[in-house]
Structure 1
Amino acid sequence: MNVKIITDSSCDLPNDYYKDYDIDMVPLTVHVNDQDYRDVKDIESKTVYDAMKKGAVPKTSQASPENFLQVFSSYVEQSQPVVYVGFSSELSGTFQSAKIAQQQVLEEHPDAEVFVEDTKCASLGQGLVVLKAAQMAENGEAAEDIIKTVQFHASHMEHIFTVDNLEYLQRGGRVSKAAAFFGGLLNIKPLLHVEEGQLVPLEKIRGAKKAKVLKRMFEVMEERGNEINRQTIAISHGDDLETAEKLASIIKEKYQPEKILIGDIGSAIGAHAGPGTIALFFLNDLYK
């Protein structure tokens, strides 16, 4: 049997990708307006963004070990190798839940092939790594080769993003109160990235014009990216498809990537990043 690729809802892949590439997905939980929902399966991100615009403060919970145990066991019982490609352990306890489930499965089935990989990525940065793993699995490649490629792609995945309002990240403890306060006061647009799985400020851009921010995001991609025309580039957005498409057109104007994947930032990440977030993902090196 081919290797089964499993991920979680923080990867933000469009829904049809799960079916098309035979990927299983374990959802995180979103708490909004006193209700709990399974991310992607029970609630759409737009519902969360609309609630946030009306003042709601959604929260999220990691996927539980029990969730992973159920999914892992279903494939192990069919003697199918499993590779879980997960959300950054620096941003969620979801990966640790997967580790606990892995240990439980291996205690009961010592010969089972169950691998869990911490991508240190988020949103479509994680999604691109998952997609590469799924394509390899579809081609019948071995778990060891898939894991090696996952580790390379994860370690070379760039996340360049901006948010409309730093307050959302501050609420979730992702930036300091001071940074959120001064960001709003001085009309500063933050440019952030991911370093060792954590959100890290990259630059401050004065002025709220999106065109200026998109131009700088494109410039950073040119500075850091490698062989952009040979890559699948990804752009995720918080209920702002128009801006995501503008960024895609800027990239297409100079480069012709193999593909530009545009998708929504799902509820699990959107609950912290907020509406208006725009994120760009690409590799700074290609796997030879």
Structure 2
Amino acid sequence: MSSLKIICDSLSDVPQDLIDKYDIEVVPLTVILDGKEYKDGVDISKDEFYKILRESNVYPKTSQATYAQFKEVFEKYTKEGKSILYVAGSSIATGTYQSAVMAKSDIDGDIYAYDSQSFSYGIGVLVVEAAKLATEGKTVEEIIPALDKLRAQSVLIFSVDTLEFLQKGGRISSTKAAIGSILNIKPILDVRDGLVAPVCQVRGKKNVISKMIEIIKENCGEDLSNQKIYIGYSDDLKEKEKLIQVAKETFNPKDIGFFYVGTCIGSHSGPGVTGIMCFKK
């Protein structure tokens, strides 16, 4: 058993089998849907969440994990004599990281907070790497440089099916959203310096995958036979299958992993999110 406990928040979209395998503690953010609060991944499943978004005219909000949540979790493990490495969602985009830093400063013990500067499996891949290294007996001082390297190599691209959730969350203007919907524009976004940024846009869903593949080629090259790549999806399983097919044919990756985009990310992007994550050489 490692004496280092790996903790993350629910923005990281780490698949349940890996949470179980590495005994990772997940601190949930809160999703507010139609006036009701749900703990992300605890009180509402991803399937239920996307079904509600498709069927009802509701726009969810999220609220950060709190000081009290982190204090409770950190104290639990420091009392067991463990060191803690918390890998956080982007500190620029959410106050969750700050909640953890405040809690950590009020507790005696070895607690480290690492800013992933990312979202979804951009965080998750770092969490899993930290957990793997911890099980190998690596120390925090050895793990953090490995995370820095992986963070610098990661390229995460995703597309959203509708602009209305980005508009409701204040990410784009209502005029832009209205014009985009009329022209059937699908934005392609990436994660840069801790924020989601638009890379380009395409007309119509059928052009999304080819554009995403093109962007990955520019950033990571065409031969990815020596790496595992990751495909992200929400409730558009047809698009997921298409992306798997094209990614296999184009990049010949060593392996493909999957991540189901969770309710916190989905609150801002809406249903129909598809993503791909690869690594620069």
Fold-level similarity (TM above 0.5):
yes
1:135 aligns with 2:132: yes
Cα distance between partner residues in 2 of 1:224 and 1:232:
16
Following superposition, the deviation at residue 181 of structure 1 comes to: 2.2
1:218 aligns with 2:218: no
Cα distance between partner residues in 2 of 1:2 and 1:253:
42
Q: CA RMSD in A?
A: 1.5
1:194 aligns with 2:195: no
Q: 1:86 aligns with which of 85, 88, 93?
A: 88
Give the TM-score taking structure 2 as reference length: 0.94
Q: 1:234 to 1:184 in 2, by over 3 A?
A: same
Cα distance between partner residues in 1 of 2:60 and 2:162:
15
1:15 aligns with 2:24: no
Cα distance between partner residues in 2 of 1:103 and 1:174:
32
Tell me the equivalent position of 2:241: 245
The AA in structure 2 aligned to 1:26 is V
Deviations 1:231-285 (A, max 9, x none): 2211211211221122112111233323212221111110111111111112224
Q: What pairs up with 1:1-288 in 2 under 5 angstroms?
A: 1-53=2-54, 54-105=56-107, 109=108, 112-206=109-203, 208-210=204-206, 212-225=207-220, 228-285=224-281
Cα distance between partner residues in 2 of 1:70 and 1:85:
17
- Secondary structure of 2:58's counterpart equals coil
Following superposition, the deviation at residue 223 of structure 1 comes to: 1.2
Structure 1 outlier segments of 4+, above 6 Å = none
Is the 1:188–1:204 contact (alpha carbons within 8 Å) kept by the matching residues of 2? yes
Q: Gaps spanning 5+ residues in structure 1: where?
A: none
Cα distance between partner residues in 1 of 2:81 and 2:231:
36
Cα distance between partner residues in 1 of 2:9 and 2:251:
31
Q: 1:154 to 1:248 in 2, by over 3 A?
A: same
Following superposition, the deviation at residue 229 of structure 1 comes to: 2.3
Aligned residues: 278
Cα distance between partner residues in 2 of 1:170 and 1:40:
24
Is the 1:29–1:61 contact (alpha carbons within 8 Å) kept by the matching residues of 2? yes
Is the 1:128–1:234 contact (alpha carbons within 8 Å) kept by the matching residues of 2? no
